[in-house]
Amino acid sequence: MNRDEKYMQMAIDLAKNAIGRTSPNPMVGAVIVKNNRIVGCGWHRKAGTEHAEVHALRAAGELAKGADIYVSLEPCSHYGRTPPCCDAIIKAGLKRVVVAMTDTNPKVAGRGIKKMRDAGIEVITGVLENEARKLNDVFFKWIETKSPFITIKSAMTLDGKISTVSGQSQWITNEHSRQYGHKLRDINDAIMVGINTIISDDPSLTTRLPNGGKNPIRIIVDSTGKVPLTAKILNDNAAPVIVAVTEKAASEKITALKNKGIEIIQTAADENNQVNLKELLHILGQKDICSILVEGGATLLGSLICQKLADKAYFFIAPKLIGGKTAKSAVEGIGIADLSNAALLSEPSVEILEGSDILIKGYLK
């Protein structure tokens, strides 16, 4: 690893401090180096607050003049909720800017780099670009498609079951795996489940970590409006709730849900008379919901996989075998008929968690 890569890795690691907290903005870290000594660093903490470069420049003070700055994403060149970062870099008198990658946001898209070069600053790009893109895979998916980044998650036995033949599912995996799942809730904008999960488990879908955590927006996919008005999720006020329905949902039920403060999204029915997931995700993306964790049920996961709408998968596997022809599997629905169309897990990793549960995760092609 050369000098530029060393300091860029530091900037990327700093950015990770704000995982799940900057939406709909990207995570960004910045490190200012002078005479091979770090004189300032910072990261973007929350949307609407100062960007990483400003934190780093404030920390460096006068030492920023003539220094190098390493930024994990192209400095912005437009006025949003904060002033342009490239203007602050120019004003501070930095001599060299090292950028991991160009911002694909149309409001930036190389303009920041051009502005700094026009001001006589040397700008280097493409240092640890792959690492920087992976850091913000959620942001780039949303900014390029206006659709959320979809992470699917399931907990199952070694033989792929999510419940016994009697319907018992609590608990398949151990406490450590469940805490990991709550961490995933904490870093996503929203959590989505199908109506059968609400009816069978009556979950709250909140984040329960030792130090608290952020409760995601809760989304129920409920084609015909079957959600019970007594469901915990509709009555705890822990976080906003969205119920997605089709025209098959009774108007009286929709009115009752709205009277409880629940937001309703109605889509056209798809070919299976279910909520049109592509349409739903587009609507959610327009609401600046950039990331969604989908925890089930099996039919919803199957639909997302078959329609190639999922981006990443986390499968928690308990070293248990329960069998049963009628026991529910992790992924159901219509299924894929031809193996050549199967969803493929790319960049897979396998981890043995505390208590011997296994986590397999990766990106879905």
Interval 215-267: pLDDT, tens: 999 999 999 999 999 999 999 999 999 999 999 999 999 999 999 999 999 99
| pLDDT band per the 50, 70, 90 thresholds, residue 337 | confident
Position 109 confidence tier, pLDDT thresholds 50, 70, 90: confident
Q: Quick one: average pLDDT of 323-345? A: 88
Within 13 Å of residue 286, how many CA atoms lie on the same side as its CB?
7
- Flag whether 76 is marked binding: yes
Tell me whether residue 298 is annotated as binding.
yes
Give 261-314 pLDDT, tens digit per residue: 999 999 999 988 999 999 999 999 999 999 999 998 899 999 999 999 999 999
Amino acid at 98: V
The total number of residues written for the chain in this structure: 365
In the block, residue with structure tokens 């920041």: 112
Q: Which helix (H) or strand (E) holds 203?
A: none
* pLDDT tens-digit series, residues 138-187: 999 999 999 999 999 999 999 999 988 988 888 899 999 999 999 999 99
Q: Residue 335 contacts by C-beta under 8 Å, 6 or more apart in sequence?
A: 302, 306
Mean pLDDT for the stretch of residues 324-337: 87
Q: At what angle do helices 85-92 and 52-60 cross, to 10 degrees?
A: 20
Domains 3-137 and 147-364 share a fold: no
Q: Report in angstroms the alpha-carbon separations of 365 from 128, 304, 305, 334, 350.
A: 23, 12, 10, 19, 18
The 10 Å Cβ neighbour count of residue 134 is 13
Task: Examine the residue annotation and report whether 62 is marked as an active-site residue of this protein.
Answer: no
- Is 182 among the annotated ligand-binding positions? no
Identify which has the larger pLDDT, 70 or 335.
Answer: 70
Superfamily of domain 3-137: Cytidine Deaminase, domain 2 (3.40.140.10)
Closest to 197 (Cα-Cα) out of 224, 171, 227: 227
The predicted model gives 196-214 an average pLDDT of: 93
Q: Is the pLDDT of residue 12 over 90?
A: yes
Q: Which of 5, 50, 53, 279 is catalytic?
A: 53
Contacts of 171 by beta carbon, 8 Å cutoff, 6+ apart: 178
Strand 345-352 relative to strand 358-364, pairing: antiparallel
Percent of the chain surpassing pLDDT 70: 99
Task: Tell whether residue 302 is among the known ligand binding residues.
Answer: yes
Q: Tell me the one-letter amino acid at 116.
A: M
Is 299 annotated in some ligand binding site? Answer: yes
Whether residue 304 is annotated as binding a ligand: the answer is no
Q: List the one residue out of 294, 310, 300 whose CA is nearest residue 342.
A: 310
Q: Where are the domains of the chain?
A: 3-137, 147-364
Whether the per-residue pLDDT at 106 is higher than 90: the answer is no
> E strand or H helix at 166, and its extent?
none
Is 3 marked as binding a ligand? no
C-alpha Rg value of the chain to the nearest Å: 23
Q: Mean pLDDT score of the chain, rounded to an integer?
A: 93
The phi, psi pair for 318, rounded to 5°, reads -85, 140
Check residue 216 and report its DSSP letter: P
* pLDDT-derived band at 335, boundaries 50, 70, 90: confident
147-364: what fold?
Dihydrofolate Reductase, subunit A (3.40.430)
Instruction: Tell me the one-letter amino acid at 287.
Output: K
Listed residue (95, 94, 66, 69) closest to 8, CA to CA: 69
In a 13 Å sphere around the CA of 259, the CA atoms on its Cβ side amount to 7
On whether the CB atoms of residues 52 and 61 are closer than 8 A, the answer is no
